[in-house]
Amino acid sequence: DTVLTQSPALAVSPGERVTISCRASESVSTLMHWYQQKPGQQPKLLIYLASHLESGVPARFSGSGSGTDFTLTIDPVEADDTATYYCQQSWNDPWTFGGGTKLELK
Amino acid sequence: EVQLVESGGGLVQPGRSLKLSCAASGFTFSNYYMAWVRQAPKKGLEWVATISTSGSRTYYPDSVKGRFTISRDNAKSSLYLQMNSLKSEDTATYYCARRGSGYYDGTYYSGWFAYWGQGTLVTVSS
């Protein structure tokens, strides 16, 4: 299975720029997607196909990468962005998720 | 507005069965692949199953293959997950999700989860 590795946690101040990384154990082309999950809620799609912004998602969110290395950038970070962020690949079977990066605001 | 509402979760003993349902509304259900994704308590997300628009094709990871069956009733705009031979490690919140897909630069892509339900909790314990 394709393993997606994410840093467990990050802490940033409001107004700063933050990058959340996701590294795949093998190439996933550009079939990498990003989700935001707030406590007690279902995940919400932010970015699909590595860099496509989902409708309704603020332009503060952006994605980049291909192959094995991907990043989700939030610029500027707002207090409401406190959440866990997951990457997910759909290039290799089975589809897999990263372990999540918990973003905390200072 | 797209709505996905799961039901059927609860406490079940190891080795027993349980069937989850997902009622869809706000879109033409029969036009979309659908899926189930689960999340163990305080853990990450795991894809569980996907079904084609007609229901003729289904996909599972090895962790549930042979024990779980995904199905759909397009007339009722409903998705189902039959779970048999349940194990303690199947304890999780189960989410119903609509698969995303589309053409980009002339190529068809799919595989992201565009919409999610609120989830239903399944606890497998004696």
Tens-digit pLDDT profile for residues A91-103: 999 999 999 999 9
User: Are the CB atoms for A34 and A21 separated by under 8 Å?
Assistant: no
CA atoms B87, B124, B38, B76: torsion sign:
positive
- If you ran DSSP here, which 8-state letter would residue B94 be given? E
Residue contact A90–B119, C-beta within 8 A: no
**Which candidate in B1, B58, B103, B113 is best for mutational testing of the A interface (most A CBs within 10 A)?**
B113
What are the pLDDT digits (tens) for A42-67?
Answer: 999 999 999 999 999 999 999 999 99
For residue A52, the chain B residues in CB contact (below 8 A) are 104
Share of chain B above pLDDT 70, in %: 100
Task: Report yes or no: A70 at the B interface, CB cutoff 8 Å.
Answer: no
Task: Report yes or no: B17 at the A interface, CB cutoff 8 Å.
Answer: no
Compute the average pLDDT of residues B37-54.
97
Q: What is the pLDDT of residue A29?
A: 96
Tokens of B34: 């659908």
Task: Report yes or no: B106 at the A interface, CB cutoff 8 Å.
Answer: no
User: Are the CB atoms for B68 and B48 separated by under 8 Å?
Assistant: yes
Average pLDDT, chain B: 97
Reading phi first (left if > 0) and then psi (alpha if -120 to 50, else beta), residue A46 is in: alpha
Amino acid at A26: E
Task: Report yes or no: A97 at the B interface, CB cutoff 8 Å.
Answer: yes
Residue B31 phi/psi, 5° resolution? -90, -5
Q: What is the pLDDT of residue B114?
A: 97
Compute the average pLDDT of residues A26-39.
97
Question: CA A29 to CA B46: how far, in whole Å?
Answer: 20
Average pLDDT, chain A: 97
Nearest alpha-carbon partner for B120 in B84, B85, B87, B79: B79
Residue contact A45–B44, C-beta within 8 A: no
Q: What is the pLDDT of residue B89?
A: 97
Report whether pLDDT(A89) > 90.
yes
User: Are the CB atoms for A84 and A96 separated by under 8 Å?
Assistant: no
How close does chain A come to B13, measured CA to CA in Å? 25
Q: What is the pLDDT of residue B47?
A: 98
Tokens of B22: 């997902």
Cβ-based neighbour number of residue B81 at 10 Å = 26
- If you ran DSSP here, which 8-state letter would residue A54 be given? P
A56-to-A17, A59, A61, B20, B95 alpha-carbon distances in Å: 20, 9, 11, 30, 21
Binned at pLDDT 50, 70 and 90, residue B105 comes out as: confident
Q: What is the pLDDT of residue B32?
A: 97
Nearest CA in chain B to A3: B46
For residue B62, the chain A residues in CB contact (below 8 A) are 94
Name residue A81's beta-bridge partners.
none
Question: CA A49 to CA A26: how far, in whole Å?
Answer: 16
Amino acid at B101: S
Residue contact B95–A88, C-beta within 8 A: no
For residue A86, the chain B residues in CB contact (below 8 A) are 44-45
